[in-house]
Structures are given as C-alpha cells and as structure tokens.
Structure 1
Amino acid sequence: MTQYDVIIVGSGISALTVASQLCEKMNILMITKGLKQQSNSSLAQGGIAAAIGKGDHWKFHFEDTLYAGCFHNTEKAAKELVQSGEEVISSLQQNGMQFDVNDYGELLLGREGAHRKKRIIHAGGDATGKRLIDHFLTRLNERVTLLENHMVFDIEVVNNRAIGVWVKTKENEIIFYSGAHIILATGGCGALYEVTSNSSLMTGDGLAMAYRAGATLIDMEFIQFHPTMLYIDGACKGLISETVRGEGAFLIDENGRRIMENAHPFMDLAPRDVVARVMQQEIKHGHRIFLDISNIQQFRKRFPTITRLCEENGIDVEKGRIPVAPGMHFLMGGIETDLFGRTSIERLYAVGETACTGVHGANRLASNSLLEGLVFGKRLAFYISEQPLDVMMTNAAKRFGNEKIALPSKREIQEMMMTYVGITRSNEGLSFALHYFEQFLKTPSFFTINVNGFTIEDLECMNMITVGWLIAKAAFMRKESRGGHYRIDFPKENDWWKQKRIRLSIFEHEGVN
C-alpha cells in the first residue's frame, strides 16, 4: 500500500499523539529514520509541566513560560499550552498512564529551572519520556503502518499542496507514498552540534525538507543549550535532568565554589540560557564544572536512569559529584505553524520540536516540551479529523539530479556550529559560518537531490548544511541578545526587536539557489 489518509514523519510524542487520536477512523503511515523508540521524546528524563499542585495556577505557569521565553512568546500559544496541562494529565491517567505518586496516591511533583512552583509530573523517576512513548505505542491499532529505518528525504508539492513523501530505505530502494495529509514530527536538530542531549538521528531533516518545499521557518536563531550534560574526557555521555537541581543539587567548580550563587536571583534554577552562559565562561577560564548531588536523599532511587548512566561511564554517584558541561538541547524555532499545526503549504503540517507556534519564545521553559507535543498533537488530530481525505493523484515521476557534489563530514559541520553558532555568537563568527555553508548551498545542483548517488548519510549532511545555514542566517540578522541567542557584540535586549520574528523561506531570500 502506498496511499494513505495521513502520513506522519517521526515517532516521538507529538507523532504518536496524532496517530493515537486518528487511528480509529483513518489509515495512517508513520515513517521513522531509526527505530520507533529512538526519538528525543524517549530520552526525556524530566517530565511534563502542569499547574495542578496546591497553590499553583495556570496563570503562574503562563508567567513562568513568558519569563523564560524572554517575552518573545506568542501569548495565545503559551496560554493554550498551560491551560491544557491539567486536562492532559487527567486524560493520560484515564487511559492507563502511570505517573509517580506518594504513599497517599498523590502525584509527586518536581521543580525545575525558572518554575516558581513544583509542577513537574514524572514517571519511573527519571524515565518519563520512555514511559510515555511505551504507553502511546500500545494505543496504536492495525490501521497504523509503522516503517522503521526509512528516511523521508523530500516532500512532493503540487500547486502549493503537499501530496506525498519520498523515502529511501537502507537497501537504497526509493519509494513514493501519497497522502491526503502530510505531518512533519521529525524533532529538532541537535546532531548539528558536537555536544548535545539529542539522538544522533536529529539532523534537522524535517526542517530542511520543509525549507526546500517552500514552507516558512521562523525563530531559527533560538537554540537552547542544556547546562548539564554528563561530560567525561571531552565527550558528552548523556543528559543529567534539570530535575536533579530541582531536588537540591547545585553547580560547583573543582574547588567547590558555587558558580551560580551571585549570577542570578534563582541561582542554580535560573533559566537554562543564563546557566549555560555562566558555565561556558567558567570553562573558558579553565575551570571544571560539577553537579553537587551530596544533599539529595536516596539519589539512586529517585534517579535510576541517571545513576545507571553515570555508573556505565565510571562515575560513582555516592561520591556526590557529577562532571557536567552545557550542550545543545532544544530548538525553539522551526517550521512556522498556527495553533492547529498548519504550515504555509496546504496539507503540510508540523508539530512538536520541528514546528514553531511561538509557544516557547526565545528560550523554552523546562518540561514544556512533552506538554507541547501532547497539547498541539491533539489539536492537530482534531483539525485533520474534520478535513476531507481526498488524495491528489500523481504519477510520482519526480526527476532527481544525478550530479554528485562534494560534502563535508558531519564532524566538520558540528565543529563549525559549536564554534561559531553556539552558546555565544559574534558578527565575525556568524559571517564566517555563513560563508562556509554558502559555498555548498550555492552549488547549482545542491537542491536537486542525487538520490541514487547519495547515501542516507549524504542526505543527512545536506540537511545539516541547510539547517546550519538557516540558524546562522537568522542569528546574523538578529542584532541583539535574547534567550537562547546571545551576541557578544549586541549583549543587550532591544525593545524594537522584541516582537520581530525572523522568517526564512527559499522563495524569499537570495544567495542560496
């Protein structure tokens, strides 16, 4: 079967939310580049933010979301997110999702950076993402076809309407699948950076495909670096959840000095962009940074996943110190959508991290990401359920290029991004990065994919080049610092830029094709 009612590219929480809502009435094809449980959602340790505790209110959650987002948020989207929190948790529980509770059966609530209240609901201690994915996979029925190890590399668009996707298998077979509705739920682009919490599969594929198809992307300059990656011998070994600091851990240097004590009123629970920059400065001055967990009772029981991660890498949590460094964690920008996931291309939708409703502003509030996937995935499913299922027929005879162009290694791209488009940026560094990426983008055949001559890794490199350029271009255009975008040559926020969103489209900007 190559014709479906709905095609979903991705297998994370937003993709599964949509599929589980629609599979009772529609034939759905889910396509994922790796295995179905290899999404960023599966790696999420923290939990789901929802204002359900005593003394909490969605308005507090809303204010915290705007504060963390440096007030660059789309307020309507942020309100939709936080007002839906209680209903989302209740619905999950009614459908059998088990969250962590105390001896009285009450939900255990954690606290993370920039939250004024304890409002993080978790499962399995620090395995919330994995538990959620497992839960949703059990809710899919026989009307869902799930293809693993298949890479979607292009979207077919006719008269500004998405009609299907092109897929390459590991065996180099090329397949075209048509659908009435095409959904991109491909996650972010963490693999563009050397140090990241993301899966290595996150090469920005959905972002690059949408750009090539003509969709508009916004806020690409806003990259969140998580402060606490497990960092050993110059390499990232995994994520240490912010919940650990919420339970009382704090950042110190090799001498035991608390580095956040005078850096921000919230100290170690300051917004992530603030903590990451402080850590980077300390590292630049030759200091090693550790997370002091010595005052957390029963650390092994509360954080079993993190304990196992540390022990697998030779770190004894009983000694009370975990070596950490900041790494790329989340993209606040993405494919521009409305609150139903609609893009600038008819029948093409985006949801989750690859989409941008403006909900996160310039810096995402901790544990709002799983909530985002659940809330906006449900809204998108509702919208599609009300739309016609007419599939546009095509002979699927798309002509691809046959020229093999020289591509850099992934490592070279990662080094370029980390050095010049990382935690701190400058006009000189961004100009250098743009020149680097444009030498490939200006190749006449760059956007004409040589699908037979290119391996899947080649296609990933092309996507990384495209998305790297988009991030560098947007960062170059924003002449201020805000949230996840920090310019050392423009260190202050600029009110004139506050509500300005930088939009990038292949039809709107010259010099790339």
Structure 2
Amino acid sequence: MPRSDILIIGSGIAALTVAYHTCKTYNVTILTKGALKSSNSALAQGGVAAVVSDTDTWQSHYKDTVTAGCYHNEEALTKYLVKQGKEEILSLFKKGVPFDIDRAGNLLLGKEGAHSLNRIVHAGGDATGKALVDFMSERIKGKVRIHEHTMALNLMKKNQRCVGAIARNKEGELIEYSAQHIVLASGGCGQLYTHTSNHSFMTGDGLAMAYRAGAELVDLEFIQFHPTMLTLKGATIGLISEAVRGEGAVLVDEQGRRVMEGIHPLEDLAPRDVVSRRIFSCIKEGRTVFLNIQHIQNFKVRFPTIAKMCSDHGVDLKKGLLPVSPGMHFHMGGIKSNLSGETSVPNLYAVGEAACTGVHGANRLASNSLLEGIVFGKRVAEVICSKPREQTKSENSLRKETSGLLSISLPAKSEIQKMMTNYVGIVREQSGLQIILDWFESMISPLLFQPINVNNFTNEQFERLNMLTLGYLISRSAMQRTESRGAHFRADFNRKDDRKWLKKQVAHNKQVNLKQEVLIGVN
C-alpha cells in the first residue's frame, strides 16, 4: 500500500496550490483522473478577481461578492477570501506568473459581471487558468509523486477517520493509497448536464466519494449556469468568457434588439444567474441570442483562445455575432468545509470547487473561483503543516473483496444529463423536481445504503454511479429550498423574472438567509 504524508485527489489550481506549499517538507502524492493539466482550472479564461488597484478596496470586493451571492455567503470566510487575494496574487506575480501588464509594467485589470470596478487580473488575454496551472505544475515537478490516468473510486476509513483512497490506474490495477492527510480537490460536476463548460472528467466523483464516506454536503441546489457558451446547431462548443462583455460586447437577438436592456440595472454585466435566465427565456420564446463583439477592437489579440475556438468551428468573427446559450459552469455547493478545509470526517479536507466554504453564497461572483483555489489551497497547506507529523507506517488492506454491491443496472450518462437538464436546470418547479426524484429513487436506493465492491465496476460505471448519487442529492436539495435565491430559481414561487421582482427578491435575501439542510453521508 503506497504511503504518503499527503494524498491529493485532483489536479486543478486548488490541488496544485496545496502541493506547491507542502512538497518541500512533506511526501505528497497526487492522483488525477486524466493528465496532470486536464482540469477545469486549465480551461479558465477570464482571470482572477483581486484587489490590486489603489482605487479598489477589499470592502468593495466583499460587497460585490455577497451581492452576487444573494447574501447567502459565510461572512468571515468571504472576508478572508477577498482580503488574502491581493497578497496571493501579487506574490504569484512576483514569482513569475505571466499576468498581462501594460507598458509601464502594471497589471492590466479587466471587468466582469457584477463587479463594481476593474479588478480581474488575467494572463495570455484569455488563458489565465492555463498560465497558473503551467506555473504550479512546473514548480512541483520532481517534488511530488504524480499518478496520472488514475481514478480515485472510494475513500478508505479506519476508526471513523479517513486513511486513504482506493484508485484504479491506467493498467487497470486497483491500488490503495494511504496517507495522514487526504485532500479532495476533485473539481465540479458539470457533466451531470447536457450543456457545460466543464472538462469531460467532471462527473462529481469527489462529492459522491465523500458522501459514501459519511461526510456532510451542503448547498447542493446552487448550480451556476454561464450565460455565454458558443452554441452551434444546438451543441455547446466552448466558453466565451464574461470578460468579453466586460470589454463592451452586448447580447442581442436575431433582430439586433438588446436582450438585457431593462432587465437589470447592470444590463449585460448583471450577475450570471440573471443573464442566464434571460437568455433561457429568449430561447424558449424561439429567439436566437448572439454576443455582439463589433465594438471590441483587436478582439483576436485580447481574446486569442476564444478567437481560435470560433475560427476552428467556422464562426466568422468579421460579422461580430457569436451565437450563445447558457451551460452548466460552477457548483457553489459541495463538501462542507471550514476555513481550514476540514470536513466532518477527520483527516479529510476539501478545497476548490469540490468544497463548500460558503464564500460563493447562492451565486459565484465572476473570477472568484481561481482566487478560491489559490487562497484556500494555501490555507489548507498551512493547516496541514501546523499539525504533528505521524510516523510513516504501512496499513493492512482495508478493502473487503467479497462484500458490497456487486452489480446494478445503470442508465446511460446521456439519460442522466437529459433528466438533470430538463428538471434541475436554470428554472425549476416542484412538479419537475418530483418527477426526477421519483426517477432517481427508482434506481438509487442500493447505491445509498450499501457499500460498493470496487472490484465489480469499471471506471465508466463508477462515473455513472457518482452522477446518479450526486444528481439525486442535488435534486433533493432543490426540492427542499422553497424560495428563489441566486442560481436556484423556483418558477413555482415567482410570477415574473423582471426588475420589480428582482428588487423584492434582493430585499428578501438581505433579511432572510435560509441555510440548506446538511446532507450527511451514509458511512
């Protein structure tokens, strides 16, 4: 049984940050489902939100974050996030992260939806995530044991403490990895939906594993849909960063009418949940929505990644109209964790999108996700380094070869995606949620109440097991929250999605912060 001081599951910015800050003094192992740089973080375009301008303040960033989050944010942790952001970003800049600068050497700052000021630090125009992942990967090279194409299947527990994980490597071998500290940084769950900006590996594995290990999950109903996915012939091709609207692009229909005019005071730079619902409504009416980029000078220079994506798929940038529709982008809910990344299971930490610290509330503010991975990744590393180091020792195998669920009939991924998109999508209502809960419960019971024999399921089957488990939990959470807040919109509690309703909802959110019932895992 391979033994490490720290076992990290995942390879996005949160995982790499933990490894970066611990690998000089600790024995660190990373398990990643694909290649090291196959993650949502590497795909992130817009940038990192941070208060690095003399005209900006952490209080302003905090206000924008909680306003976008519909006042569902955890106050102390959100303040920690925005206060620490400046220090971490300037430190990375000083160490060599190639953030974009002007001729005087000052950081260039972009603007995105729901931000009151320009505070988005970016790299390579629209390749910020890649720049950060490349930087971190280079600095842990040779210092961390990295097991690529190795899928973690289940967490291992002994005396109610997490002691490691069972994984399958690319040769098909099942291996038990033990460690003193286990960090889940496995990312999100975008593949639960038909249309998503997420990497193909994002099937919610970390959350499902944590649930099976008895961890607490919270706020699962809050699913953020990004408004502008490049969409051709009904298929989503890839993300068009919110930074494009920050540079002056506007949403229009096929007749050139402004889509967001009169909908929200910030119009095209309204919070993502508002813009996504508006585009969704237009599409239901039979209208086609475009992102008009005609007023952006040097588009190919400012947004080279997006320009190449459009060119590769035959979209003529000279016409200046990019067809768009919403797609699942980010999960605000996750494994309940505190400022130190600690979960309800001893020795198990969660960080990044897999975690729910409460900093994003009901709707994440643009470009706060990379910031979260960097700030809380370092915090988790500091907490681990502050704890007494156990003497390395081997563990007897904890896997019971003949026990647990042997087999089960599983629906196809596409069927799960279709059900989630139809009934737990941008707009929800009780009748649809009841339909999907009945559907899940007809097949989910054996998964929730029996241990799983890892020997009898392929990696692809495990992905579907995880999708079913998490899809059920998200649907159950969405049914329980009988209000509209941020990314969770219940049509059965709202007559109109207009400015008048929005003003009432904001007032309601300021006064009432309904916390979701915590879902506690089964082990």
Determine if the TM-score, normalized by the shorter chain, exceeds 0.5: yes
Match of 2:493, SS state, is coil
Alignment check: 8 A CA contact 1:163 1:392 kept: no
The whole-number CA distance in structure 2 between the counterparts of 1:140 and 1:133 is 11
Please say if 1:413 is aligned against 2:416: yes
The whole-number CA distance in structure 1 between the counterparts of 2:389 and 2:30 is 17
TM-superposed CA distance for 1:445, in Å, is 8.3
- Supply the AA of the counterpart residue of 1:34: G
Match for residue 457 of structure 2 among 454, 460, 464? 454
Please say if 1:443 is aligned against 2:458: no
- Supply the AA of the counterpart residue of 2:142: E
- Supply the AA of the counterpart residue of 1:461: R
The whole-number CA distance in structure 2 between the counterparts of 1:78 and 1:336 is 15
TM-superposed CA distance for 1:205, in Å, is 0.3
Seq. identity, %: 54
Matches within 5 A, 1:338-349: 338-349=338-349
Matches within 5 A, 1:296-335: 296-335=296-335
TM-superposed CA distance for 1:446, in Å, is 6.8
- Supply the AA of the counterpart residue of 1:53: S
- Supply the AA of the counterpart residue of 1:80: Y
The whole-number CA distance in structure 2 between the counterparts of 1:499 and 1:134 is 40
- Supply the AA of the counterpart residue of 1:475: A
Residues 404 and 58 of structure 1: is their aligned pair in 2 closer, same or farther, counting only changes over 3 Å? same
Matches within 5 A, 1:135-214: 135-214=135-214
Alignment check: 8 A CA contact 1:440 1:446 kept: no
- Supply the AA of the counterpart residue of 2:484: S
Partner of 2:396: 395
- Supply the AA of the counterpart residue of 1:422: G
Q: Deviations over 1:152-185 (max 9, x none)?
A: 0100112221001000123321100110000000
- Supply the AA of the counterpart residue of 2:43: L
Matches within 5 A, 1:121-132: 121-132=121-132
Match of 1:257, SS state, is coil
> TM-score, normalised to structure 2's length?
0.95
Partner of 1:482: 485
Residues 445 and 108 of structure 1: is their aligned pair in 2 closer, same or farther, counting only changes over 3 Å? closer
Q: Deviations over 1:81-111 (max 9, x none)?
A: 1101210111102211111011111111000
- Supply the AA of the counterpart residue of 1:457: E
Alignment check: 8 A CA contact 1:164 1:178 kept: yes
Q: CA RMSD in A?
A: 1.5
Alignment check: 8 A CA contact 2:484 2:490 kept: yes
Residues 497 and 471 of structure 1: is their aligned pair in 2 closer, same or farther, counting only changes over 3 Å? farther
- Supply the AA of the counterpart residue of 1:86: K
- Supply the AA of the counterpart residue of 2:517: I
Q: Which moved more, 1:162-171 or 1:378-387?
A: 162-171
> TM-score, normalised to structure 1's length?
0.97
Alignment check: 8 A CA contact 2:14 2:376 kept: yes
**Unpaired segments ≥5 residues, structure 1:** 508-512
Match of 2:326, SS state, is strand
TM-superposed CA distance for 1:393, in Å, is 5.0
The whole-number CA distance in structure 2 between the counterparts of 1:256 and 1:322 is 12
Alignment check: 8 A CA contact 1:172 1:452 kept: no
Match of 1:229, SS state, is strand
The whole-number CA distance in structure 1 between the counterparts of 2:185 and 2:447 is 29
The whole-number CA distance in structure 1 between the counterparts of 2:441 and 2:148 is 33
Match of 1:177, SS state, is strand
Q: Deviations over 1:316-337 (max 9, x none)?
A: 1121010000000000010000
Partner of 1:5: 5
Q: Deviations over 1:347-395 (max 9, x none)?
A: 0000000001100000000000000000000000000001123257531
Count of matched residue positions in the alignment of Structure 1 and Structure 2: 508
Match of 2:396, SS state, is coil
Partner of 2:351: 351
Match of 1:191, SS state, is helix
Q: Which moved more, 1:375-384 or 1:495-504?
A: 495-504
Partner of 1:505: 520
Q: Which has the higher helix share?
A: 2
The whole-number CA distance in structure 2 between the counterparts of 1:426 and 1:169 is 42
The whole-number CA distance in structure 1 between the counterparts of 2:271 and 2:446 is 40
Match of 1:365, SS state, is coil
Residues 99 and 445 of structure 1: is their aligned pair in 2 closer, same or farther, counting only changes over 3 Å? closer
Residues 294 and 90 of structure 1: is their aligned pair in 2 closer, same or farther, counting only changes over 3 Å? same
Partner of 1:273: 273
Match of 1:443, SS state, is helix
Partner of 1:238: 238
TM-superposed CA distance for 1:455, in Å, is 1.1
Residues 17 and 364 of structure 1: is their aligned pair in 2 closer, same or farther, counting only changes over 3 Å? same
Alignment check: 8 A CA contact 2:481 2:516 kept: no
TM-superposed CA distance for 1:450, in Å, is 3.4
Match of 1:100, SS state, is coil
Alignment check: 8 A CA contact 1:405 1:446 kept: no
The whole-number CA distance in structure 2 between the counterparts of 1:303 and 1:320 is 13
**Unpaired segments ≥5 residues, structure 2:** 495-500
Partner of 1:362: 362
Q: Deviations over 1:183-219 (max 9, x none)?
A: 0000000000000000010000000000000000000
- Supply the AA of the counterpart residue of 1:286: G
The whole-number CA distance in structure 2 between the counterparts of 1:412 and 1:313 is 27
The whole-number CA distance in structure 2 between the counterparts of 1:506 and 1:444 is 12
- Supply the AA of the counterpart residue of 2:35: L
Alignment check: 8 A CA contact 2:156 2:398 kept: no
- Supply the AA of the counterpart residue of 1:123: A
The whole-number CA distance in structure 2 between the counterparts of 1:100 and 1:414 is 38
Alignment check: 8 A CA contact 1:221 1:471 kept: yes
The whole-number CA distance in structure 1 between the counterparts of 2:466 and 2:514 is 29
Alignment check: 8 A CA contact 1:23 1:141 kept: no
The whole-number CA distance in structure 1 between the counterparts of 2:443 and 2:84 is 44
The whole-number CA distance in structure 2 between the counterparts of 1:450 and 1:434 is 25
Alignment check: 8 A CA contact 1:335 1:350 kept: yes
The whole-number CA distance in structure 2 between the counterparts of 1:392 and 1:27 is 13
Q: Which moved more, 1:153-162 or 1:457-466?
A: 153-162
Alignment check: 8 A CA contact 1:4 1:179 kept: yes
Alignment check: 8 A CA contact 2:5 2:179 kept: yes
Alignment check: 8 A CA contact 2:218 2:517 kept: yes
- Supply the AA of the counterpart residue of 2:69: G
The whole-number CA distance in structure 1 between the counterparts of 2:449 and 2:171 is 23
Match of 1:92, SS state, is helix
Q: Deviations over 1:471-500 (max 9, x none)?
A: 101100000000010001123755685242
Partner of 2:498: none
The whole-number CA distance in structure 1 between the counterparts of 2:45 and 2:171 is 34
- Supply the AA of the counterpart residue of 1:463: N
Match of 1:139, SS state, is helix
Q: Which moved more, 1:442-451 or 1:99-108?
A: 442-451
Match of 1:349, SS state, is strand
- Supply the AA of the counterpart residue of 2:454: V
